[in-house]
């Protein structure tokens, strides 16, 4: 039974604004009398389904029936999911699934099956047709725990699941669920031979589709995701991947937002103010309506898998995840929205012949290979199931309209995770293929290959290109591990004489002419000094792991530069080009497998290769440690050279992409033309010098991001092993600054490329009415779970105990006269300097950030008609992992009264404060030699 039609799912029913809801309820359950209550609607006390206070009981005994009436008031703000549950005394039954949702839809809406648009009565997935407005797809997701926290979850055979997953260390595998379904990584990684597949826990290529919900849609479909916390045990934080696929915190406060406006948008409306979110913390009983900007595929209009999960890492590793599958061609079993032009049906390669492509090429049998080959991973037979450099595709030269391009041989191995039909329809008799696939068998082969499908309108491989191959690592993306294999790296690239499949693309990730900022990022293992040394404790996390710019690797490893989470910056309208390599040795990490990747939020990107996570049928986006996995240069190579002499060239095949100088700022990416013994010849010459001993190989990925709007600070992090990696430091942020900004060291004034403390020199407003020119900036992560101190800011801590051991007097606990300045970041500013704290939570519970003596706004661009801020200021915010705030201090440093002095900032959770997650903001009354003034601001002499 596929999940879509599975009768075992939470009951989701629907009503419209202004409707009377009449429920004929029969109790057939054992275990007592039950009623049915709907939260947030109007009802008579006799009709409430429970017995609260002096209200009469309205539950019914087993075998009995009654009718309940609820009323949806005439008010648009009632739209959304309302919790359906029995009386509140039945908490235990609720924790085992006695709950559902009533989705309130716009006035007069009708509800339809996503399969064929027939009317439906219930179900988590629906097509909603409101009169006078565009139809939208609706996905109702109920997040919940299984049982209470003392309950032992059992498997299908009745055996208790472990409290701690032996494959990942995650707590309570199988107990974190969406719509009664859980897909703990444990269930995937326990497959024999899966030890090196931890990076592919979300991968359908390696493990098949998960048991959890897979909403499906077509690019540009208007979409509302309605989330409800139906459990009662712990908070969750909904997070949706995919970059420019965001929603408003407060859509009704943003008159410029309209769910109906979908499709490609490289310059989205900055909006009247409500903040764009891709993470939302929610607790028991809370629900949110996420109206997706740009619709399915986001404003960048990608096709592919858009992962969603609770961002609390132990929750998603324990099963609370799924993905939204967005197609670019029409699929069996998924009806187009009734008011949208249907996408084309995919064709095989022969079906492209005679069509004219966006670059002006008319496809012929003669130029077909020039068109298709650059869009596929390099052709070759992988050396083993971990060889991601090639993909074993073929052409059938005997077929009608030959050549016809075929994918890998279908995997017919028996693996329970994809032998069931799940949300994506399967091809009968071919458990790993999709409905709509056609197969061919090559001479001499004993199994079929699926014909590769193409979008006939643009000649791209239709998503998904890949089909499951159980236990294998997926291939890297084509076009040199491009970050944008589907959308293209750059928009509107001019065409040439030859066929150029990446030319003429309106949806190329970066608009042509956008400035490109390049960051070569390396993950390294390095000791991190977390706390000041005290007798008996050096305060060093010997197992630290961080992202670092390649240019800084040697300085960090040599102790010349303090290790910290990586903050990088780009301006609105900039294109960011990233290479990622990994030099964390296997021996340095949990279970001896050190792969890393880099997942970013919020910016526009191509989810098929820049998400960081190889979700579903995406390309490989994680990398092994290159010093082990790849060879080194046996002799130096320099500009103009096309040959590489390597310590071992046996892993390379013609056509594969090779990064020369992995882990260095000089990294260059080329294509292998030929291999002879240990010499590799490249198709293009090198531009830079590379020393003997430097590495060259296939373990690298490229990402491409477009910072389309002023979205403030953006979280990024490793997504392979957050349980172990985030507390050690594998987190970062991209800060999107106003147009025209430059970034400077506050001490020297020199321009900088990274770092938590920066002066931002600009003439563009950060937030109208608050900061309209240059400002000072602190990137601040509250990172918890570190082995030196459970609570840190930016991997640094100033534990109270270290101070009270010296002087137990609490009245001077925070005195720098008594104890010196704390070890934590210490931003400095002159009175009145504009200052912004860019903060992100990296913990497993909710934390608060408090800034003493100052206030700031949760929403910085929530303005009235006269451009005055309408938001309410606060001095403390709470946030869960991945939630971020830009705290622009009202009145600047020293507040509206412009008072100099030292001000405390701290994590407000008592034990975290005591463990050292606090620091000082120093507001200086007059000019000092080692702090540059901001342009246009003259400090007192
Ligand atoms: Cu959670």
Residues 6+ apart with CB under 8 A from 75: 17
Residues 300, 178 share a domain: yes
Ligand 1 centre distance from Cα of residue 281 (Å): 9
d(CA 401, CA 347): 12
DSSP 419: H
Q: What is the largest CA-CA distance in the chain?
A: 88
- Give bridge partners of residue 549 from the DSSP assignment: 521
Tell how far the Cα of 340 is from the centroid of ligand 1, in angstroms. Answer: 35
| CA 609 / ligand 1 centre spacing (Å) | 26
Ligand 1 centroid from CA 313, angstroms? 8
In a shared domain, residues 319 and 459: no
- What single DSSP character describes residue 819? H
Cβ contact 837:907 at 8 Å: no
Task: Calculate how far, in angstroms, residue 227's C-alpha sits from the geometric centre of ligand 1.
Answer: 13
CA of 320 to the centre of ligand 1 (A): 7
Mean pLDDT of successive 10-residue segments in the chain (941 residues)?
68 97 94 92 88 90 95 95 92 92 98 96 96 98 94 91 93 95 92 85 92 94 97 94 90 85 92 84 94 97 97 95 96 95 97 96 96 98 96 94 94 66 70 91 96 98 95 96 98 94 96 97 97 95 97 97 97 97 88 88 97 97 96 98 98 98 98 98 98 98 96 95 94 97 98 98 94 97 96 98 96 97 98 97 93 93 78 91 95 95 97 97 97 94 86
CA of 267 to the centre of ligand 1 (A): 33
H/E element holding 144?
Answer: strand 136-145
- Cα(720) to ligand 1 centroid in Å equals 17
User: In a 3-state reduction of DSSP, which class is residue 692?
Assistant: coil
Å from CA of 848 to ligand 1 middle? 18
Considering only CA atoms, which of 326, 339, 329, 330 is closest in space to residue 300? Answer: 326
Ligand 1 centroid to Cα of residue 606, in Å, is 26
842 CA from centroid of ligand 1 (Å): 13
Query: Residue 536: CB partners within 8 Å, gap ≥ 6?
Result: none
Sort strands 11-16 and 100-105 into parallel, antiparallel or unpaired. parallel
Separation of CA 37 and ligand 1 centre (Å): 25
Domain for residue 499, yes or no?
A: no
Contact by Cβ (8 Å): 150, 160: no
Q: Do 633 and 690 contact (CB within 8 A), yes or no?
A: yes
Rounded to the nearest angstrom, the distance between the alpha carbon of 847 and the centre of ligand 1 is 15
In the reported structure, the alpha carbon of residue 178 is separated from the centroid of ligand 1 by a whole-number distance in angstroms of 10
Last residue of a domain, one of 307, 327, 347: 327
895 plus 815 within the same structural domain? yes
**Beta pairing partners, 160:** 154
Query: Percentages helix, strand, coil for the chain, rounded to the nearest 5?
Result: 10, 30, 55
How far apart are the CA of 547 and the centre of ligand 1, in A?
25
Same domain, 476 and 531: no
Q: Is 157 exposed, middle or buried (0-12, 13-18, 19+ CB in 10 A)?
A: exposed
Query: Residue 175 maps to which CATH number?
Result: 2.60.40.420
> How many domains are contained in the chain?
4
Q: What spacing in Å lies between the alpha carbon of 237 and ligand 1's midpoint? A: 6
Ligand 1 centroid – CA 213 distance (Å):
16
The answer to whether residue 718 sits within a structural domain is: no
User: By the 8 A CB rule, do 930 and 747 touch?
Assistant: yes
Indicate the residue among 464, 485, 506 that finishes a domain. 485
Report pLDDT for 48: 87
Q: Tokens at residue 617, please?
A: 């049928």
Written as six digits, the tokens of 196 are 């090196």
Judge whether 547 lies within some domain: yes
Using CB atoms within 10 Å of the CB of residue 643, give its burial: 0 to 12 exposed, 13 to 18 middle, 19+ buried: middle
Kind and range of the H or E run holding 314:
helix 313-317
**Spacing, Cα 185 to ligand 1 middle (Å):** 15
Cα separation, 220 vs 685, in Å, equals 42
Element (H, E) at 912: helix 910-915
Using CB atoms within 10 A of its CB, is residue 132 exposed (0-12), middle (13-18) or buried (19+)? exposed
Q: Could you give the count of Cα atoms lying within 13 Å of 99 in the half-sphere of its Cβ?
A: 30
Q: Is residue 279 part of a domain?
A: yes
Q: Is-contact 374 479, C-beta < 8 A? A: yes
Q: 829 has which bridge partners?
A: 923
Cα(122) to centroid of ligand 1, in Å? Answer: 26
Helix (H, G, I), strand (E, B) or coil at 313: helix
Cα 247 to middle of ligand 1, angstroms? 19
Ligand 1 centre from 235 Cα, in Å?
A: 6
> Is there a single domain that holds both residue 521 and residue 658?
yes
Both 318 and 357 in one domain: the answer is: no
CA distances from 641 to 516, 691, 696 (A): 26, 13, 14
Q: Do residue 672 and residue 524 come from a single domain? A: yes
Task: Please tell me the distance between residue 791's alpha carbon and the centre of ligand 1 in angstroms.
Answer: 20
> Do the beta carbons of residue 774 and residue 833 sit within 8 Å?
no
Compute, in angstroms, the gap from residue 318 CA to the centroid of ligand 1: 9
Q: Tokens in use for 899?
A: 């008072």
Statement to judge: residues 77 and 111 lie in one domain: yes
- Looking at residue 250, its pLDDT comes to 83
Residue whose C-alpha is closest to residue 475's, from 375, 620, 579: 620
Answer whether residue 140 is part of any domain. yes
Regarding whether 359 and 296 lie in a shared domain, the answer is: no
Helix (H, G, I), strand (E, B) or coil at 45: helix
- 253 and 120 housed in the same domain: yes
Determine the Cα–Cα distance for residues 530 and 787; give it in Å rounded to an integer: 9
Does 721 reside within a domain?
A: no
Instruction: Find tokens 């030959």 and name the residue.
Output: 402
Would you call the peptide bond into 464 cis, given omega within 30 degrees of 0 as the criterion?
yes
Residue-number span of the structural domain to which 129 is assigned:
11-19+72-327
How many angstroms separate the CA atoms of 338 and 133, rounded? Answer: 12
Q: How far apart are CA 355 and CA 103, in angstroms?
A: 45
Whether omega before 200 lies within 30 degrees of 0, making that bond cis, reads no
| Pairing mode of beta strands 775-784, 835-842 | parallel
Instruction: Please give the angle made by the CA atoms of 841, 196 and 311, to the nearest 5 degrees.
Output: 20
Residue 523: name the closest of 577, 586, 572, 471 by CA. Answer: 586
Q: What is the DSSP string of 826-883?
A: --EEETT--EEEEEEEESSS-EEEEETT--EESSTT-B-TTS-B-SPEESEEEE-TT-
473 and 590 co-located in one domain: no
CA of 166 to the centre of ligand 1 (A): 20
Ligand 1: centre distance to CA 356 (Å): 48
Bridge partners of 717, per DSSP, are 599, 731
Residue 95 alpha carbon to ligand 1 centre in Å? 15
The answer to whether residues 424 and 533 belong to one domain is: no
Cα of 143 vs centre of ligand 1, distance in Å, is 8
**How far apart are the CA of 145 and the centre of ligand 1, in A?**
9
Give every CB contact of residue 547 below 8 A, 6+ residues apart in sequence: 521, 522, 523, 565, 566, 598, 718, 729, 730, 731, 732
SS3 at position 722: helix
pLDDT of residue 870: 77
In a domain, 398, yes or no: yes
Instruction: Specify burial of residue 356 (Cβ count, 10 A radius: 0-12, 13-18, 19+).
Output: exposed
Ligand 1 centroid, distance to 792 Cα (angstroms): 22
SS (H, E, C) 531-599: CCCECCECCEECCCEEEEEHHHHHHHHCCCCCCCCEEEEEECCCEEEEEEEECCCHHHCHHHCCCECCE
Which among 656, 688, 705 is the end of a domain?
A: 705
The answer to whether residues 920 and 882 touch, using CB atoms and an 8 Å cutoff, is no
Q: What is the pLDDT of residue 50?
A: 86
Rounded to whole angstroms, the Cα distance separating 718 from 612 reads 8
What's the CA gap between 45 and 48, in Å, rounded?
Answer: 5
Are residues 863 and 880 in contact, defined by beta-carbon separation less than 8 angstroms? no
Q: What are the residue ranges of helices labelled H in 122-208? A: 185-189, 204-207
Give a yes or no: residue 719 inside a domain. no
**Is 667 in contact with 523 (CB distance < 8 Å)?**
no
* Ligand 1 center–CA 314 separation, angstroms: 8
Write out the two tokens for 372. 């298709």
| Residue 308 Cα to ligand 1 middle (Å) | 11
In sequence order, the 6+-apart residues with CB closer than 8 A to the CB of 384 are none
């Amino acid at each position: 039974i596929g999940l879509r039609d599975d009768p075992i799912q939470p009951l989701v029913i629907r009503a419209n604004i202004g409707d009377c809801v009449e429920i004929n309820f029969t109790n057939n359950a054992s275990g007592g009398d039950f009623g049915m209550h709907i939260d947030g609607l109007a009802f008579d006390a006799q009709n409430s389904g429970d017995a609260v206070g002096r209200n009469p009981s309205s539950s019914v005994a087993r075998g009995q029936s009654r009718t309940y009436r609820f009323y949806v008031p005439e008010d648009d703000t009632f739209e959304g999911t309302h919790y359906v549950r029995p009386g509140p005394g039945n908490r235990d039954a609720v924790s085992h699934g006695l709950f559902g949702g009533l989705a309130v839809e716009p006035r007069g809406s009708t509800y339809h099956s996503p399969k064929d648009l027939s009317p439906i009565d219930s179900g988590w997935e629906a097509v909603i047709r409101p009169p006078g407005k565009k139809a939208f797809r609706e996905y109702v997701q109920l997040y919940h725990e299984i049982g209470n926290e003392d309950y032992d979850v059992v498997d299908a055979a009745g055996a208790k699941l472990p409290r701690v997953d032996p494959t990942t260390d995650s707590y309570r595998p199988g107990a974190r669920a969406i719509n009664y379904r859980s897909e703990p990584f444990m269930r995937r990684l326990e497959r024999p031979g899966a030890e090196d597949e931890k990076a592919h826990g979300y991968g359908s290529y390696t493990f098949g589709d998960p048991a959890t919900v897979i909403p499906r849609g077509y690019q540009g479909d208007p979409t509302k995701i309605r989330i409800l916390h139906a459990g009662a045990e712990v908070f969750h934080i909904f997070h949706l991947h995919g970059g420019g696929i965001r929603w408003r915190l407060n859509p009704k406060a943003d008159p410029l937002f309209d769910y109906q406006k979908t499709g490609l948008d490289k310059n989205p409306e900055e909006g009247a103010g409500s903040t764009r979110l891709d993470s939302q913390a929610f607790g028991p009983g809370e629900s949110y309506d996420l109206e997706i900007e740009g619709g399915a595929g986001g404003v960048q209009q990608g096709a592919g898998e858009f992962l969603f999960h609770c961002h609390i890492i132990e929750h998603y590793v324990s099963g609370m995840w799924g993905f939204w599958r967005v197609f670019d061609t029409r699929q069996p079993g998924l009806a187009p929205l009734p008011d949208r032009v249907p996408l084309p049906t995919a064709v095989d390669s022969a079906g492209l012949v005679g069509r004219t492509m966006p670059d002006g090429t008319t496809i012929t049998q003669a130029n077909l290979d020039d068109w298709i080959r650059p869009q596929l991973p390099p052709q070759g037979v992988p050396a083993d199931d971990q060889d991601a450099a090639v993909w074993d595709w073929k052409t059938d030269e005997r077929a009608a309209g030959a050549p016809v391009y075929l994918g890998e041989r279908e995997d017919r191995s028996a693996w329970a995770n994809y032998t069931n039909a799940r949300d994506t329809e399967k091809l009968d008799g071919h458990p790993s293929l999709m409905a709509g696939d056609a197969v061919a068998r090559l001479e001499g082969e004993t199994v079929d290959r699926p014909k590769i499908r193409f979008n006939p309108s643009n000649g791209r491989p239709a998503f998904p290109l890949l089909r499951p191959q159980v236990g294998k690592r997926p291939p890297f993306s084509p076009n040199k591990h491009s970050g944008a294999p589907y959308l293209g790296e750059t928009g509107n690239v001019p065409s040439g004489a030859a066929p150029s499949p990446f030319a003429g693309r309106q949806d190329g990730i970066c608009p042509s002419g956008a400035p490109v900022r390049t960051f070569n990022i390396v993950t390294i293992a390095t000791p991190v000094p977390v706390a000041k040394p005290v007798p008996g404790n050096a305060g060093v996390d010997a197992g630290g792991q961080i992202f670092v710019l390649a240019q800084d690797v040697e300085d960090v490893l040599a102790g010349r530069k303090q290790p910290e989470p990586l903050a990088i910056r780009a301006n609105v309208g900039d294109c960011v080009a990233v290479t990622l390599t990994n030099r964390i040795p296997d021996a340095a990490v949990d279970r001896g497998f050190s792969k890393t990747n880099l997942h970013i939020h919020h910016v526009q990107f191509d989810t098929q290769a820049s998400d960081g996570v190889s979700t579903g049928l995406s390309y490989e986006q994680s990398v092994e440690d290159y010093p082990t996995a790849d060879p080194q240069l046996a002799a130096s190579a320099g500009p103009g050279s096309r040959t590489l002499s390597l310590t071992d060239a046996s892993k390379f095949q013609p056509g594969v992409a090779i990064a020369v100088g992995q882990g260095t700022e000089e990294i260059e990416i080329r294509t292998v033309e030929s291999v002879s013994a240990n010499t590799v010849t490249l198709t293009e010459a090198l531009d830079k010098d590379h020393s003997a001993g430097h590495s060259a190989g296939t373990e690298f990925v490229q990402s491409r991001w477009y910072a389309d709007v002023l979205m403030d600070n953006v979280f990024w992090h490793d997504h392979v092993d957050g349980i172990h990696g985030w507390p050690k430091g594998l987190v970062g942020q991209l800060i999107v600054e106003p147009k025209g900004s430059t970034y400077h060291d506050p001490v020297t004034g020199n321009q900088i490329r990274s770092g938590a403390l920066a002066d931002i020199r600009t003439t563009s407003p950060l937030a109208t009415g608050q900061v309209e020119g240059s400002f000072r900036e602190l990137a601040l992560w509250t990172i918890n779970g570190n082995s030196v101190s459970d609570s840190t800011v930016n991997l640094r801590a100033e534990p109270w105990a270290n101070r009270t051991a010296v002087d137990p007097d609490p009245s001077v606990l925070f005195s720098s006269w008594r104890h010196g300045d704390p070890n934590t970041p210490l931003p400095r500013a002159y009175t009145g300097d504009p200052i912004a704290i860019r903060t992100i939570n990296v913990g497993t519970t909710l934390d608060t950030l408090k800034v003493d003596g100052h206030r700031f706004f949760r929403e910085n661009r929530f303005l009235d008609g006269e451009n005055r801020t309408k938001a309410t200021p606060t001095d403390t915010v709470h946030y869960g992992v991945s939630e971020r705030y830009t705290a622009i201090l009202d009145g600047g440093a020293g507040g509206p009264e412009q008072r100099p002095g030292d001000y405390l900032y701290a994590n407000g959770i008592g034990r975290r404060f005591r463990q050292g997650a606090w620091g000082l903001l120093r507001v200086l009354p007059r000019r000092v030699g080692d702090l540059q003034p901001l342009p246009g601001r003259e400090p007192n002499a």
